[in-house]
Amino acid sequence: MELVDILADKIKAALAHLYNVTDAKISFEKTNTNFAGDYTFVVFPYVRFSKKGPEATGEEIGAFIQNEVPEITGFNVVKGFLNLELSDNYWLKVAQKRATNGITIPNIGEEKKVVVEYSSPNTNKPLHLGHVRNNVLGLAMCEILAANGYVVIKNNLVNDRGIHICKSMIAWQKWGNGETPESSGIKGDHLVGKYYVEFDKHYRVEVQALVEKGMAEETAKNEASLMQETRQMLQKWEDGDDEILALWKKMNAWVYAGFDVTYKRLGVSFDKIYYESNTYLLGKAMVQEGLASGAFYQKEDNSVWVDLTTDGLDEKIVQRSDGTSVYITQDIGTADLKYQDFKMDKFIYVVGNEQDYHFKVLQLILKKLNKPYADGLFHLSYGMVDLPEGKMKSREGTVVDADELMEEVVSTAQKQTEELGKTE
C-alpha cells in the first residue's frame, strides 16, 4: 500500500475516533512551498463535527496521525490546512527502492554530444570554496545530461598562463629564496598561492607610495614597478624566453601535483583537459581571421577590437596593442578547438554570474566569425560564494581553502560518529 493510502486510512481513523465521522472522503494537496510539509489535508469540512476552530481541529488530527504513522515526523497547521511532514528516512527508502527497481528516464539527449567545462582553476593558487561549488555543479550537470541520453565530455580548461600567473612567478623570484614544496613541507598549489598573496602585499605598498606622491590611483596601478616587471615577464613568456619558461613549468608542476590531490579527494575527474598555454595562439589566429573578414578592427595603437554596439553591448578588446592576448582571446580559440576535437552539438560553461557579460560577448563574437557551433553555447550561471565580510579574494588571502574545508568536514564527521558510538 502506498503511503498516501495509509495516510488516508489513518485520517479516516482519526475522524472516526475523534469526531465519530465514518463516511469521510479523504484527499490531499501538495503543501504550499511557503510552508513546511509534503502533504496538506484541509480540515475545514470537519470543524462542524469537532465543535472547535480550524487550527485546534488540525492540531488534534495532526497529533493522531503523527502517533500512528512513523513516516510522519512533524506537522503544522496554517488556519484550516494541516501540513504533514515526511521523514528523511522515508525519502531515502523511496530512492533506494527506485534505484533497485530501475528508473526509466526519457532519452531526450538522443546521443547528442555536449562538452561541459567546469573547474577551470588558475595555476597561481589552490582551489577554494568557490571551486568546490563549481566542481559539484559541473559534475552534477554531467551526470544529469548523461542520464538523459547525452554523450557528455567532462572538460577542464586550466588557466596556466597570463598576467596573474606571472605575479606568483615574480614574487617567488624576488622573495622565494629557492623555497620548494619539498623544502617547506607546503603543498605545491598552496606554496604558489602564498607568493600570489606576497605579490599583492608588495604591490599595494608601491601603489600607495605613488598615490601619496600625487599620482592618480589608476595610473599608479599601471606604473608601479612590480606591475611593469610582471608585464615584461608575460611578454618574455610569449616570446619563448628559456629562463622564464623553465620557471613557469616548475611552478605549474607544483600546482598540478597539489590539484591532483584535491580533485581525488573531491571525487572529480575529467575526460579532457585543455591548457590556455596551448590555445592562446589559436585564439590569436582567429583574431587575424576576424580582421580579414571585417568582423574585427584595429585601432591606431595596434590593439584589435570587436564592435558589439548594434547588439546592445559595447566595444570589446580581443588583442592588446603589444600583441598579447586577453581572456576572451583564449576562449575564442578554445571554443574552436573543442569543436575540432568533438564536433559537439552543445557546449556548456559552468561559471559564476560575474562572467555573464563575458559569455554574451563570446557567443556574439563566434557568431560574427560565422562559427557553426555558436548557437550551441550555453552559460550555466550561478551566484558567487561570498563571505560575511564580502567577496573572497585569493590575492589577499581571504578565501576558504578547499583542502582545509574538506579536512574540517571529515574531522567533524569523525568526531560526531565517535560520539554516537558508530565507528564500527
pLDDT reading at 243 higher than 70? yes
CA distance 393 to 391: 6
pLDDT reading at 387 higher than 80? no
Measured in degrees and rounded to the nearest 5, phi and psi for residue 346 equal -140, 155
Percent share of the chain, pLDDT over 70? 95
pLDDT reading at 309 higher than 90? yes
Mean pLDDT across the stretch 370-383? 95
pLDDT given at position 174: 97
pLDDT given at position 124: 95
CA distance 205 to 211: 10
Percent share of the chain, pLDDT over 90? 72
Mean pLDDT across the stretch 100-119? 84
pLDDT reading at 104 higher than 90? no
pLDDT given at position 289: 95
**Amino acid (one-letter) located at 189:** D
User: Which one is the CATH code of 115-159+271-424: 3.30.300.30, 3.30.390.50, 3.30.70.1520, 3.40.50.620?
Assistant: 3.40.50.620
What average pLDDT is seen over the chain?
Answer: 91
pLDDT given at position 269: 93
Q: Are 283 and 325 in contact (CB under 8 A)?
A: yes
C-alpha cell at 100: 533497485
pLDDT reading at 109 higher than 90? no
Specify the DSSP element, H or E, that contains 354.
Answer: none
- Per-residue pLDDT band for 1 (boundaries 50, 70, 90) equals low
Helix axes 276-293, 327-342, angle to 10 degrees: 100
Hey, where are the domains in the chain? 3-89, 115-159+271-424, 163-254
Q: Is 279 helix (H, G, I), strand (E, B) or coil?
A: helix
- Per-residue pLDDT band for 319 (boundaries 50, 70, 90) equals very high
Q: Where are the alpha helices (DSSP H) in 239-326?
A: 242-266, 276-293
- Tell the CATH superfamily of the 3-89 domain: Arginyl tRNA synthetase N-terminal domain (3.30.1360.70)
- Per-residue pLDDT band for 396 (boundaries 50, 70, 90) equals low
Mean pLDDT across the stretch 118-143? 94
pLDDT given at position 373: 96
pLDDT for 164-202, tens place per residue? 999 999 999 999 999 999 999 999 999 999 999 999 999
Residues in the chain: 424
Whose CA is closest to 193, among 397, 355, 27? Answer: 397
Strand partners, 84: 39, 75
C-alpha cell at 207: 601603489
Mean pLDDT across the stretch 332-344? 95
CA distance 30 to 81: 11
- Per-residue pLDDT band for 400 (boundaries 50, 70, 90) equals confident
C-alpha cell at 164: 596573474
Listed range (90-94, 197-201, 216-220, 352-356) with the worst mean pLDDT? 90-94
- Per-residue pLDDT band for 311 (boundaries 50, 70, 90) equals very high
Strand order in the sheet with 297-298: 297-298, 304-307, 315-319
Which distant-in-sequence residues (6+ apart) come within 8 Å of 65 by Cβ?
7, 10, 11, 14, 72, 75, 84
pLDDT for 8-44, tens place per residue? 999 999 999 999 988 888 889 999 888 999 999 999 9
Burial 215-228 (b: 16+ CB within 10 A, else e): beeeebbeebebbe
CA distance 341 to 337: 6
Mean pLDDT across the stretch 94-111? 76
pLDDT given at position 391: 57
pLDDT reading at 220 higher than 90? yes
- Per-residue pLDDT band for 423 (boundaries 50, 70, 90) equals low
Mean pLDDT across the stretch 145-154? 94
pLDDT given at position 101: 72
- Residue 421 vs residues 153, 409, 413, 414, 418: alpha-carbon distances, Å: 43, 18, 12, 10, 5
pLDDT given at position 292: 96
